[in-house]
Structure 1
């Protein structure tokens, strides 16, 4: 009976020891404090899922298709701005031109992504976006 209690106590100590690193986050060995913030989940649930936006056609105010959403990227800076990576031109994925536009410039209404003042030509004139290696 005593050896069974000892085994149980030892197993609990091993589990607790293996879970200890999960109690605090650390980066490069330095302890990090994690602060929690309340989120309005009802409002958040009415937002846009990146997985649903990727591949969506982008239109201008004249309802012309001017590109597609290729990706969404959050900048690494302190402001954490979000950019939409748009694919413009090309055919069947060949010769496409990727450009980055601030996500806030896009208007999303009735499941339609609109960049009102843009044209294919104006987007193709933007510097090409290239992913970092």
Structure 2
């Protein structure tokens, strides 16, 4: 097999094409937009894990227990935010009523979950939340 000399102009074009695509992602030949955002991991690590919040009692500003944090749900597409699924009413898990409230409405104060202006009655009046079938 014989070595074929590569013309300098072809080599330059190949090099420029390779450098021009550096940092771009391609899927099946089409450019893909990738956005990167730096996260302060130290600050993030001091946040609250969903697994630790699950089952936490929820209080109002009068320190009345008004429900239990059952779950957190991120809306499809993430465009509508995260919702807290609260269990209200019932006794020993019987007759509980699940409701969805925007997670941003909750406050976490001294490891206590607070929904300041809510009452058991106001939460029970919300439409019942039902999980979609798996």
Q: Which residue of 1 aligns with 2:105?
A: 105
TM-score (norm 1): 0.73
Q: Which residue of 2 aligns with 1:71?
A: 71
SS in 2 for 1:77: helix
Considering only CA atoms, is the larger Rg found in Structure 1 or Structure 2? 2
SS in 2 for 1:108: strand
2 CA distance for matches of 1:85 and 1:32? Answer: 35
Alpha-carbon shift at residue 77 of structure 1 (Å): 3.5
1 CA distance for matches of 2:81 and 2:108? Answer: 17
2 CA distance for matches of 1:124 and 1:51? Answer: 25
Alpha-carbon shift at residue 111 of structure 1 (Å): 0.3
Cα gap change, 1:59/1:38 in structure 2, threshold over 3 Å: closer, same or farther? same
Root-mean-square deviation (Å): 2.0
Unaligned runs of 5+ in 2: 1-24
Residues 1-133 of structure 1: pairs in structure 2 closer than 5 A? 34-133=34-133
Unaligned runs of 5+ in 1: 1-23
2 CA distance for matches of 1:68 and 1:78? Answer: 24
SS in 2 for 1:62: coil
2 CA distance for matches of 1:78 and 1:113? Answer: 23
